[in-house]
Structure 1
Amino acid sequence: MVPWYSAFIVGGILCLIGQLVMDLTKAQITPGHILVGYITSGAILSGLGLYQPLVEIGGAGATIPLSGFGHLLTQGTLKAVEQKGLLGAFSGGIEAAAAGITAAVIFGYIAAVIFNPKG
C-alpha cells in the first residue's frame, strides 16, 4: 500500500519539472511540447522497465499525469503483443486506454451541453 503523501510528492515533482522546463526556456518549450514529452518519456521509461518502480512509490502521483498515460499505452501494447502477436502492437495501447478516453469524451460532451462558453 502506497502512503497517501507519496502521490502528492511524486506528482508534484513531475509537475515541478514541467513548469521549470517551460520557465527556464522562455517560451521555446510550450505546454504542447511538455505534453508530448511527458507521454513519450513515460512510454520510453515504461518500455525500459523504469516507470513501474515510480508507480510503486508514487501510486496515483505517477499514473495520473501524462507520463502515466504513456506508461499505460506501453504496458497495454506489450501485453497485447504477447497475446496477439504483431497485431497487438497496433491495438494494445488503445484497448488499455479505452475506458479513460471514453470517459474524457463523455464528460467533455456533458460539460459542453451544461455550460455555455463565454468568449
Structure 2
Amino acid sequence: MFNMIVPAFIVGGLICVVGQLLMDLTKPSFTPAHVLVSFVTGGAILGALGVYEPLIKLGGAGATIPLSGFGYTLAKGAIDAVGKRGIIGALSGGIEATAVGIAAAVFFGYLMSVTFNPKG
C-alpha cells in the first residue's frame, strides 16, 4: 500500500506544482481558467501521443485525478472508440469514457449546493 501512496503523492504533487508555477510566473495573464484548459488539453495531447500512460502506471491516482487525467481519458476514449466504430467514435468515445465522472461531479456539486449555505 505504501508503494502506491508515495508515487501517487509525488506525481500528483508535481502536476500541482506545475500549475502553481504557471500561475505564479505568468501573472496576471495566465489565470486559473488558463491552467484548467491547459491541463485538460495537455493531458489529451500526451494521452494521444502515448506519453501519459507510463505516468499513470507510475503514479496511479496521482496522475488520473488531476485535470490532465481527465484530458487523457477523453483522448483514450476517443481513440478506442475510433477503433470500434470509425469516425463516429471520435465524436462520441471521449464523452462515453468520461460520462460517469461528469455525472458524479454534477450530482455531488448539486448535493453540496443544496446541503450547505455559503456565508456572504
What TM-score range do you get, normalising by the shorter chain? over 0.9
SS at match of 1:3: helix
> Deviation per CA, 1:46-85, whole angstroms, max 9, x where unpaired?
0000000000111000000000000000000011111111
CA apart distance, 1:43: 0.3
Structure 2: tracts of 5 or more residues without a match: none
Letter in 2 for 1:96: A
CA apart distance, 1:117: 2.2
1:97 aligns with 2:117: no
- Give the RMSD, CA atoms, in angstroms: 1.2
Report matched runs for 1:20-39 at 5 Å. 20-39=21-40
CA apart distance, 1:21: 1.2
Letter in 1 for 2:59: G
CA apart distance, 1:25: 1.1
Overall identity of the aligned pairs, in %: 61
SS at match of 2:13: helix
2:45 aligned partner:
44
Deviating runs (4+, > 3 A) in structure 1?
Answer: none
Report the TM-score, using the length of structure 1 for normalisation.
Answer: 0.96
Q: Size of the alignment, in residue pairs?
A: 119
Structure 1: tracts of 5 or more residues without a match: none
> Deviation per CA, 1:3-62, whole angstroms, max 9, x where unpaired?
210000000000001101111112110000000000000000000000000001110000
2:69 aligned partner:
68
Whole-angstrom distance in 1 between the partners of 2:103 and 2:26: 35
2:4 aligned partner:
3
Letter in 1 for 2:84: Q
> Deviation per CA, 1:76-113, whole angstroms, max 9, x where unpaired?
00111111111101100000000000001110111111
Whole-angstrom distance in 2 between the partners of 1:17 and 1:63: 16
